Amino acid sequence: MTLLVALILGTPACSRLVDDNPPDVPTAQRLAVKPSAVGVPYDRFVVIRHDGHVIAVNLHATSQLGDRIRYRWFEANADGWFAPEANLERGEGEAVERPHTGRIAIPNLPTLHWSRGSQESGWIYWPERDTGLEIFSDAFATLSEIETRRGTGRWLDAGAGGK
């Protein structure tokens, strides 16, 4: 199972907003929003931006319980796009939920705290202090899908989760 989190560099807020009732659990297309966390589907790209950087992260559950993940990340180019993929800065890592959360370390982002939700999804927690981190409300199957569906959702921040 894989989740990709993408940060969109310099992209303006989308013009068409999603409804204000996100699902209670993430779906293949939509993130769940709670006061302290965002529910993200594995095997999908999720868009995040922070401090002028755009990064796509793919979370993949590596255990049956979902308490171990492998992640890959891609940083968008200077124009905020994820193409061509071969030219993007990238990396990978692993996280283990121990004792309650795992840590995802990606350059140009604050450390992300993650926990399992199920075999299909997990939770990324809002930073304890406001860092300007934003996560896009939609999930995407591929990096190229991000480019074609930028106007389908909205940016979420800790305030959107009620924090």
- Say if CB 88 and CB 78 are below 8 A apart: no
Q: In whole angstroms, give the CA distance from residue 129 to residue 59.
A: 24
What phi, psi does 81 have (nearest 5°)? -110, 155
Per-residue confidence (pLDDT) for residue 43, from 0 to 100: 93
Per-residue confidence (pLDDT) for residue 83, from 0 to 100: 85
Per-residue confidence (pLDDT) for residue 4, from 0 to 100: 47
CA 143 to chain centre: 12
Per-residue confidence (pLDDT) for residue 106, from 0 to 100: 96
Low-confidence ranges of the chain (pLDDT < 70): 1-20, 160-163
Per-residue confidence (pLDDT) for residue 57, from 0 to 100: 93
What phi, psi does 86 have (nearest 5°)? -60, -25
Number of Cβ within 10 Å of residue 18's Cβ equals: 17
Per-residue confidence (pLDDT) for residue 6, from 0 to 100: 45
